[in-house]
Structure 1
Amino acid sequence: MHNFKDIHIGQLIEQRAKEMATDPVRMCAFLKCTEEDIENTYRSKSLDSALLLRWSKLLEYDFFRIYSHHLILYAPPTSSLSTTERAKKTPALPEFRKNIYTIEIIEFILEQIKSGTKTRQEVIKEYRIPKTTLYKWIIKYRKEEQD
């Protein structure tokens, strides 16, 4: 299980490159860099988004999703405007209809409940997960554990 709170993107890129056994010569050609630049990337806690996009393509992995998970878990959206006021404004950026709950996010949340780190109510309040969604996860994944 990955810790989504403290992200060191360079280490994650290095891990993925090793898993895929990616040839350093191919990496250098694709990224238009030197092997020293690659080593510097592995030591970097953060990267420029254009470079991260190239790494995502090269290693066939969505590294941006790690940051999305962080936002879902540690920075739930807050609203200073009422729903009616927000509906009247047309945003310049695209709005996403719902959060992305991947299996990793679901497992992380259910593990917090199972270990007693958080109660169901704390999870609902802190992560803004609908009560029905959380209870469906609990039933579904408890059933899968028993099978």
Structure 2
Amino acid sequence: MNIKNIHIGPLIRSKVEEYGLPIERICRFLDKTEDDIEKMYNAKSIDTEVLLKWCKLLKFDFFRFYTGHLILYAPPLVRIQKAGKDKENTIIFRKNIYTKEIKDFILEKIETGTMTAGEAVERYKIPKTTLYKWMKKI
């Protein structure tokens, strides 16, 4: 799974096949035709309301892929200092919430030699001790 380039349609298709849901049930639940469902299976992205319905139908959080992407690739927000004024507090995007998919993604890069542990620590701002604990468990 490539967290950098998310194609949600194939991920949905994979879960449907895993659960063996009949297309008729899917069509009734989503109030869509078979052609519409097939288009969703091939789509890179779909409407969030429809994705939420897929989450409910398949009892799986597809939004976690996007959360993982944000944790790895969104720049953190920092405090902004305005001239002559106190620091304005803004939300700081924390990178200390690591899902299984994120851990697997980073560990795969290290195992394949695409990235060293040091590069992963620097690029994704993961504490060294955290990364080495992950590496011990594999």
The unaligned stretches of length 5 or more in structure 2 are none
Question: Does 1:120 pair with 2:92?
Answer: no
The unaligned stretches of length 5 or more in structure 1 are 143-147
Tell me if structure 2 keeps the 8 A contact 1:9–1:45: yes
Q: Please give the per-residue CA displacement for 1:71-112, whole angstroms capped at 9, x wherever unaligned.
A: 222334243637x935x45x6xxx876543122321221222
Q: Distance in 2 between matches of 1:85 and 1:97?
A: 19
Q: CA RMSD in A?
A: 2.4
Residue matched to 1:85: 87
Q: Distance in 2 between matches of 1:101 and 1:113?
A: 16
Q: Distance in 2 between matches of 1:97 and 1:80?
A: 13
TM-score (norm 2): 0.82
TM-score (norm 1): 0.78
Tell me if structure 2 keeps the 8 A contact 1:11–1:43: yes
The count of corresponding residues between Structure 1 and Structure 2 is 134
CA positional deviation for 1:55: 0.6
Query: What letter is aligned with 1:47?
Result: I
Q: By percentage of residues, which structure has more helix?
A: 1
